[in-house]
């Protein structure tokens, strides 16, 4: 059975694991640098065609919706299906 100090250690290790492996502050900062869809459309008005948004690099209309660190991550990054450039960010 865990003592008081052992339980605190386990909780602290779990919190550190979550912060550095699951949340990953470096990836979070990188994700926050991506524009939102509204910012992307404002920066690249030539890529906004009604409801459709094109890739500003190659002009493709098909996108990939990927989780930042894993498939179920709430931090989503939208990438061009053709040239694989990251275009904008979303959150679930």
Q: What is the pLDDT of residues 5-23, one digit of tens each?
A: 888 888 899 888 877 777 8
Q: Give buried/exposed letters for 25-43 (b at 16+ CB in 10 A, else e).
A: eeeeeebeebeeeeebeee
Q: Report which of 90, 81, 91 is spatially closest to residue 55, judged by C-alpha positions.
A: 81
Between CA 21 and CA 27 the distance in angstroms is: 10
What count of residues does the chain have?
92
pTM confidence score = 0.78
Between CA 55 and CA 73 the distance in angstroms is: 23
Q: What is the pLDDT of residues 27-47, one digit of tens each?
A: 999 999 999 999 999 999 999
């Amino acid at each position: 059975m865990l003592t008081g100090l052992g339980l605190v250690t386990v909780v602290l290790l779990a919190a550190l694991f979550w912060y550095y492996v699951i949340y990953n502050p470096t990836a979070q900062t990188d994700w926050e640098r991506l524009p939102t869809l509204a910012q992307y459309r404002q920066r690249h008005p030539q890529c906004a065609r009604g409801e459709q948004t094109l890739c500003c690099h190659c002009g493709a209309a098909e996108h990939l919706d990927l989780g930042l660190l894993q498939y179920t991550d709430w931090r989503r990054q939208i990438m061009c299906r053709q040239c694989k450039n990251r275009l904008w960010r979303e959150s679930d």
